[in-house]
Chains A and B, each alone.
Chain A
Amino acid sequence: MTRSIFAAAIVILTVGAPSRADDRADYDRAVKPLLVKHCVACHGAEKPKGGVRFDGPAPDLTDPKVAEKWLLARRMLAQGEMPPEGKPRPTADELLATMNWIEDAAARAAVVTRGGVGRRALRRLTNREYVATLHDLLGLSFPHATGDLGTRLPSDAVANTFSNDSNSQVTQALLLRRSLDLAEDLLAVALPAEGTVKPFRYDVDLRSLVAEKHRAFLAMPDANRKGQRGPGIGNVVIPAHAKGGDPAKLGVQGGPNSPLAVEHLDPARGLMLEPNPILIGVNRNAVTQSLPFVPEGGVLRVRVRAAAVMDHDDSAPVLRLSFGGPQGPGNVAYPVAQVTVTATETKEYVLEVPLVLAECDWKSFRREKRLLVQIDNAAAPLAPTATPEAYDSKKRETYLKRNRLLLESFCLELDASPTWPPKSEVVLPAPRDGEDDEARAKRALRAFLSRAFRRPVADRELEAFVKLYRDQRAAGRGFLDGYKTAVAAALVSPQVLYLIEPRAAERRPLTVWELASRLSYLAWNTTPDAELLARGADGSILTDAELTKQLRRLLADERAFGFTREFTRQWLDLDVIDHLAPPVTRPARTIDDTSELAWYDKAIRRDLAAEPAHVLLDALRNDRPVNSLVAADHVVVNDRLARYYGVALPKGTGWRRVAAPENRRGGLLTQAGCVAAATHAQERGEIKRGVYLVERFLGIDIPSPPGNVDIKPLDVQLAEDKSLRALTARQHLDKHRTVATCAVCHQRIDPLGFVWDGFDMYGQPKRDKQGKLVAFDSSGTLPDKATFANFSEFRKLMAQGELESRFAVAFSQRLYTYVLGRSLDHGDEVQLKTIRTAAAKYGGGVRALLLAMVLSEPFRNK
């Protein structure tokens, strides 16, 4: 793939302008000797076996039949099927040269067939981009909702490239079907049909409840009360507000079958909730309100007055909202929204969830005609354990000292639509005086379509959607239904689903609108905002100065995290972390322990996967040197990762930058998440690690092993063949390279397999069973034969040479692939060189690099 294209490009660059003559010379030098030595005897002019000949001049692979023959030959060479058994084998170097030539020639031929270098095919929005776009277009925003609506669409993961790679994207019927369903669901939230939602409201002041229910108990002398539990606050009937609803029951659970312990009650302040790790079964610490009905739609808003009680040096409490069915063993509560509570004085937090978007067991709820709304504290522990010795089984408390959530009061409210933005004006403006329905629909559609299509809408286009509205009205449907049908059609139209750039015969600069869209989907993963469209409208976006200004503005916005998350997630294969065997292997000692560990496990995985995105965002915003991504004296971590790395983090919240400990000064190279993603939770993950480093940090794509090889992970081999245990890990790996077909790739992979020898499979310093650090040996060799004796030498080899360092070259290739939304062609290498030179001039930072890419010709031209 990319590797071969670059290999070709490098050849072209060194040899001069690409031409057929050079191609032929290359063929004569790299391929012919092997053919003459190993193939022509059977596949020559006389009685060619299988009718296949390899004695001709350099082939032209743009002919599909010829290409097929040569690619087959390449595969058979790679798999060792040819030359046949008993004949002499080519050496690894001979094989590599021949296979590379075939691959490169095929890649160049493919570009010719595709219609030219440096052009990308129609690019579709990725699932995440589409979901974000729908929200923005419909004026919806649910920052605290936890569900990922992208999972409603069929996965758009593409092997070996980015999901925004237009040349690899596939559109399938299921995608369209689900997109339409999703668009309609969101549209129903943005423009609810009148009268379909029965609003309600409940107000609960926990302070007065505590005071009332526990008056007698709290009046007892302290000594008598000590260690006792108060009476339960269960089944308090909460009257409905004037707004609507039936009386609902409030319950407060303090533990398995027991009321809340008295130390959690404070008539002056409210209720203290310990973190609740349990979402299945009987809740430990939760406030629940059981509604005697299940609303059909609308937006549930929960306004909570809450505060963090930070008694311990652990994570801040998290206010979580869940929906559940009947209480009891086996019951599942489905988390639907959450927000971290950091205020130490009581403050109002608002969570909004559109019911139609909440993924839970609605079927059961409907059958029981009951919806349980649950509020609890979802703070996952910062570390898997405190000292187990501190655990006192008599107290029946978890030994982890955790911060509590103070609940003062809350208000539960259901409305037809969300409070933000005010009304649904963005999608459907209010009618004007004297305006008839159709005029209003037309005016609204013109505004909406211009935003949705990311450019002014043409009259003809508009007319088609107005007609759809008109037809619906003619069929007897109301104004709102007719209008919504037209909007739904727009939301799944190709103009929204694709970045459409009509093509002229010659290469042309992008229009202002196309450029605004490219920039927005690059830096934000969503549709351009009003400011960006305005810079399109006045044409200024075409200037270098304005483009630079806009990029800086977009990167400073919080939406830029969408960009760094998407890019790092795919570049570094971080999704895999969620599917690995659990990082914490310590056996659970208590029941509490079991759930706490699983909980911590989930949280740390999420953090490990998020770290690279935060690091890149920090580097972009502060324009840190590109090489600092692999050689840095700082880390960007949150509280949990700080514990994981053993660094002290100043008080605060969120992701912060601190000095790195000794063993974490390799930037991404010493991030536990990268090590974990590379190792795949294999005890003997050296090969996986080698492949990861070669592909992701050195930009060389390694083909999959040939199909006839029985691939067994090293640890499986060890389990099956006891004799292998006598070998050291390095000797074991060396066995690979005795076979020439394996050696082709493994001579590049294996020597990097021990770079992370000092780390276990979750990126922690490797320890033995007694917990002592073990000795390790990180030495190895890079594919270009440069050797290193330890990790710091490796890091130096990666990062030396400013923007021409091994890492910077590889990183710029990967980043440019993402920026352009297509796989790179050989012409792009020249561009990248110019880009890196320009970026170096701007100071060599990551933002400078991205800016140079955005200003480059391929980004601004169709």
Chain B
Amino acid sequence: MPRKSWHIERRTFLKGVGVTLALPWLEGMSWSNDRGSAVTPPNRFCAVYFPFGIADLAENDERAQFGWWPLGEGREYRFSKTLEPLAPFRDQITPLAGLDHPAGYELGGHGTAGIFLTGGLRNNTRTLNRVSADQVVAEHLGRETRFPSLVCSTEGGVGALLNSNTLSYDRSGNPLPGVAEPSALFDMLFGAAKARQTLRTQASVLDQLLQSTRELNGQLGTADRRKLDEYLVSVRSVEQEIGRSRGWLDKPSARVDAAKLNLACNIKNDPRAYLRVVYDLLFLAFQTDSTRVATFLTGNMRGESQYSAAAAWPKAVGVRDEAHKVKHDAGSKPEDASKYDAFLLEQFAYFMNRLQGAREGDATLLDRTVLLYGSSNSTSHANTNYPLILAGGRSMGFKHGQYLKFPAKRVPMSNLLLTAIQGLGVRAESFADSTGALASLRA
């Protein structure tokens, strides 16, 4: 990976890079104020997952403020210390309690990351997953963008089904590999020198094919020619796809300003820099309409730091233990868990802030984006009562400002996923084991 040349102070990047980097796309496909009236800006979806659960304290516990859950209920709720970073977004978020995936009850305590967005494994064979909510959305929103969806993961790749390194699973239940390195994400999204040469070569190849096919066409009968037309159409369509990628690559500004990204930050030792650069890239991907769907797994369920890039993150931000242990001990030392979760939420709030800062027509990018944040554990290893936060999407009719508590084990989380899917404009009657959308979330 060409890391060195990208390395520049984070602060510089944060100030300027967003807009300039986005330029090549914005020229052609802008939803900014002056042109916005002609086109409706698209809807976006992003889901973020964190492992190992939370400090699951009852409201009457004297340390309740160090727990995850908000205090009180409905519109009158108060933020716990953990959720404090989200306080500025009170009217943009809905904390939810009581939801979970019934299909996850029987899986191991470390086994549910893979079903966070799918609702459960297929037929319980434990060999195949079901399609994840983001991919359902991507089938609908991903057709017009260069990438149907982005799959980000601190761990990269797919991991094992019951120890997933990715949140995204396709229609057949196969995992979609996550990308871990910011540099790889950047290369993928905004191109790199090697890809440029490949694309250029492939374009010449296709050009040649178009020519020789035309000649061939003259020799064939009608039925054969129809078949060959299919081929020609395919060649043209691939050519266009490549042309689009190349068109972007050839914009000089992308090269210059990309150098300001802190793409070489250390995943294991500098979680703040890492999370922010990934959130920055996600923001840019949305803003440039490179994709409309993204998932981000911030740590897998492998406890030890040799197997998980995010295992030692708490240590890096002043908490004594590794993430696994922090959450295990959350009952006796909720302060640590609270501090670490608040740290993760701070970075998420940073993402929300960026989205809110970008206007699109008469709304902000945050209003155009449905965000889901959460985990598939409550108290460490309990696959029930997921800590979840739904945010953004006001342009799609999402209503926030209250703390929704559902009775334990009654309402599947799939109902929440269904609500998001429908809100994003996908015609879906159900998702996984859903029993209906959550009416209280949307107008």
Contacts and interface: CB of A to CB of B under 8 A. Distances in A.
Contact of A485 (B201, B211, B212, B226): B201
A124 B309 CA distance: 46
Contacts of A329: 302, 307
Interface in B206-229: 208-209, 211-213, 215-216, 219-224, 226-228
A653 interface: no
A745 interface: no
Contacts of A488: 201, 205
A332 interface: yes
B231 A497 contact: yes
B227 A471 contact: no
Which residue, of B198, B213, B227, B304, has the highest number of chain A Cβ atoms within 10 A?
B227
Contact of B156 (A169, A173, A364, A501): A364
Given A326-B306, A489-B205, A503 B221 contact: yes
B36 to A, nearest CB: 31
B125 to A, nearest CB: 7
Sorting the interface of chain B by its residue count into under 10, 10 to 19, 20 to 34 or 35 or more gives 35 or more
A177 B238 contact: yes
Contacts of B227: 121-122, 124, 166, 169, 171, 498
Contacts of A363: 156-157, 177, 179-180, 184
Contacts of A362: 157
B80 interface: no
B150 to A, nearest CB: 15
B159 interface: yes
Contact of B204 (A115, A124, A175, A471): A471
A363 B159 CA distance: 11
Given A114-B223, A115-B222, A171-B227, A367 B238 contact: no
B220 A330 contact: no
Interface stretch (A45-53, A371-379, A421-429, A460-468): A460-468
A212 interface: no
Interface in A170-200: 170-173, 175-177, 180, 184
B9 interface: no
A495 interface: yes
Contact of A330 (B125, B159, B222): B159
Nearest to B177: A363
A503 B304 contact: no
A328 B163 CA distance: 13
B228 A122 contact: yes
Which residue, of B181, B205, B215, has the highest number of chain A Cβ atoms within 10 A?
B205
Contacts of A170: 230
A500 interface: yes
A493 interface: yes
Given A176-B235, A330-B160, A497-B231, A502 B219 contact: yes
A388 interface: no
Contacts of A172: 230, 234
Interface string B224-248: 1011101101110110010000000
Contacts of B226: 121
Interface string B170-189: 00000001011100100000
A554 to B, nearest CB: 26
B102 to A, nearest CB: 20
Nearest to B205: A489
B302 A492 contact: no
Given A471-B204, A493-B209, A503 B224 contact: yes
A112 interface: no
B238 A173 contact: yes
A346 interface: no
A115 B181 contact: no
B37 interface: no
Contacts of B234: 171-173, 175-176
B306 A485 contact: no
A386 interface: no
A485 B304 CA distance: 46
A460 B218 CA distance: 15
Given A121-B226, A367-B181, A493-B212, A330 B302 contact: yes
Nearest to B158: A361
Nearest to A170: B230
Which residue, of B181, B215, B228, B231, has the highest number of chain A Cβ atoms within 10 A?
B231
Contacts of A481: 201
A461 B304 contact: no
A790 interface: no
A177 B241 contact: yes
A792 interface: no
B216 A494 contact: yes
Interface in A447-464: 460-461, 464
Which residue, of B123, B158, B230, B233, has the highest number of chain A Cβ atoms within 10 A?
B230
A332 B202 CA distance: 34
A332 B238 CA distance: 35
Contacts of A280: 160
Contacts of A472: 201, 204
A498 B232 CA distance: 13
B341 interface: no
Contacts of A171: 227, 230-231, 234
Contact of A461 (B159, B212, B231): B212
Nearest to B223: A121
Contact of B208 (A364, A460, A468, A500): A468
B405 to A, nearest CB: 34
B155 interface: yes
A576 B155 CA distance: 34
B223 A494 contact: no
A172 B235 CA distance: 9
B205 A492 contact: yes
Contacts of A364: 155-157, 165
Which residue, of B123, B209, B219, B235, has the highest number of chain A Cβ atoms within 10 A?
B209
A494 B158 CA distance: 36
Nearest to A124: B227
A489 B157 contact: no
A180 B238 contact: yes
A588 to B, nearest CB: 13
Nearest to A481: B201
A245 B235 CA distance: 43
Interface in A109-140: 114-115, 119, 121-122, 124
Nearest to A862: B221
Given A122-B224, A328-B307, A173 B160 contact: no
Nearest to B232: A494
A581 interface: yes
Interface in A498-518: 498, 500-503
A460 B181 CA distance: 48
Which residue, of A471, A481, A493, A501, has the highest number of chain B Cβ atoms within 10 A?
A493
B306 A465 contact: no
Nearest to B216: A494
A169 B159 CA distance: 35
A837 B228 CA distance: 37
A361 B157 contact: yes
Given A172-B234, A494-B213, A503-B219, 10 more contacts: A121-B223, A121-B227, A166-B227, A169-B227, A184-B202, A330-B163, A361-B177, A464-B211, A493-B213, A500-B216
Interface of B: 123, 125, 155-160, 163, 165, 177, 179-181, 184, 198, 201-202, 204-205, 208-209, 211-213, 215-216, 219-224, 226-228, 230-231, 233-235, 237-238, 241, 302, 304, 306-307, 309
23 contacts: A121-B224, A121-B227, A172-B234, A176-B231, A330-B307, A361-B156, A361-B158, A363-B177, A364-B157, A367-B156, A465-B208, A468-B208, A471-B204, A489-B204, A492-B209, A493-B208, A493-B209, A493-B212, A494-B209, A495-B212, A500-B216, A503-B220, A581-B123
Interface of A: 114-115, 119, 121-122, 124, 166, 169-173, 175-177, 180, 184, 280, 326, 328-332, 361-364, 367, 460-461, 464-465, 467-468, 471-472, 481, 485, 488-489, 492-495, 497-498, 500-503, 581-582
